[in-house]
Amino acid sequence: MEEKIVGFVKHVFKKISVAVLEVSDSFEIGDHLRFTSKNEGFSQIASSMEVNHQKVNIARKGDDVAIKVDRPVKKRDLVFKVMQK
């Protein structure tokens, strides 16, 4: 499977399992994302996103998007979109 980088983790709200991503390439609800850190990583489907406290279906380049995460992430973790062939 192909992957392309779509951003990185800019801020983390651990108690509510939300990461704020600085978006470098667009992605949308339902896309398969992979979060990677120095030692580990995990994949999840983008299921809930907000920009400026407004729900959105598409995260666009330049957005700071809040996304619900399934596992803990850290600042500067990279986020990839997994492309299905």
Domain boundaries, the chain: 2-83
Using the Cα atoms of residue 71, residue 12, residue 32 and residue 47 in order, give the sign of their dihedral: positive
Query: What is the helix (H) or strand (E) element at residue 42, kind and residue range?
Result: strand 41-45
Q: Which CATH architecture has domain 2-83?
A: Beta Barrel (2.40)
Q: How confident is the model at residue 32 (pLDDT cuts 50, 70, 90)?
A: very high
Lookup: tokens for 83: 């492309």
pLDDT band at residue 51 under the 50/70/90 scheme: very high
pLDDT confidence of 20, banded at 50, 70, 90? very high
Whether the CB-CB separation of 43 and 78 falls below 8 Å is answered with: no
CA distance 20 to 7: 10
pLDDT tens, residue by residue, 53-66:
999 999 999 999 99
Q: pLDDT value at position 42? A: 94
